[in-house]
Amino acid sequence: MEYRALSNTGEKISVLTLGTWVFSGGGTWGDVPVDQCVKTIYEAIDRGINVIDTAPFYGFGRSEEIVGKAIQPQRKKVLIATKCGLRMANGKIVTDLTPEFIQEEIDNSLLRLKTDYIDLYQCHWPDANTPVERTMKKLAQLQAEGKVRFIGVSNFEPALIEQASKAASVVSLQSQYSMLDRSVEEGALTVCREKGIGFLAYGPLAGGILTGKYTSPPNLKKSDARSFFYQYYQGKKFERVLDLLKELKTMGHPLNQVALNWVKCQQGVTSILVGCRNPEQVEHNVGAADWNLTPEQLGKISAALASLEDME
């Protein structure tokens, strides 16, 4: 496993992070038994992954509870990254990064995770109704109290990253980044490189489509995350992705590993979140960690991606 510095924290984190949105259960990703989730976490740790990313909103606490159960014997081996700032109101998801809600969130997260501190505490999504300075002041307070070691943000645009990092010591940004979603390259990722902020990439497999699993558009339920979070499964977009996969198959490695390795090779990326529902998927994804695409291969992929620029 390769390890990279997380900003100026002194911590070196694995280039792959275990993402646990899939542990939510229910319709979002399908049901995954708790015991299987725990075994998946153990496999990740055994394979050298030392960061586990979760959130209270994943299964309304289910994911955090599973992580808390699994890491008890191995707490010091892993960094726990969780989040704050999402809640349900009148049947809709709303952002809430007020100090009051953050306090409620962290108290509940600490209980579910069975720990007295969180290594990386991240704002899940921006809250347009709460000044970011007010949010950061609260997070800095939690840091001073020892409940939070490091502060991160997620899904923040460049201007908001700048504001947040002036108000507190922000060490990481978590945003979507894959061959099919490169929107961060000219903005957020550039800011992170310039400011020495770590970058955690989620969605590197674009909801699974870059694994080559689908040869025709799947019939997804409305509640399935792939139907609303990853926009590659319909019409001409799907056909273009199949053309890309033909090129990726010439790289001499499994498609999922090529997709992960491509993100790993991009300048400024610290770690890549991989969502795994079983130990076998952990093993398959970890295979991307210890090699790099050659400059020639990266050039071929860049040429193939150029033909996708008019997908939107």
Helical axes 99-113 vs 132-144, angle rounded to 10° = 40
Q: Residue 101: which of 71, 127, 75 has the closest Cα?
A: 127
Q: What letter does residue 130 receive in the DSSP assignment?
A: S
Strand-pairing partners, residue 178, are 181
Q: Residue 16: which of 305, 297, 301, 284 has the closest Cα?
A: 284
d(CA 44, CA 108): 25
Question: Which ranges constitute the DSSP H helices of 181-254?
Answer: 188-195, 225-228, 235-248
Question: Which H/E stretch holds residue 61?
Answer: none
Give the type of residue at 223: S
What are φ and ψ of residue 40, in 5° steps?
-65, -40
Selected catalytic residue, list 42, 58, 202, 214? 58
d(CA 295, CA 247): 15
Maximum Cα interatomic distance, the chain, rounded to a whole number of Å: 53
What are φ and ψ of residue 184, in 5° steps?
-80, -15
d(CA 312, CA 295): 28
Mapped onto helix, strand or coil, the DSSP state of residue 82 is strand
Q: Is 58 considered catalytic here?
A: yes
d(CA 208, CA 128): 31
Q: Which residues are catalytic?
A: 58
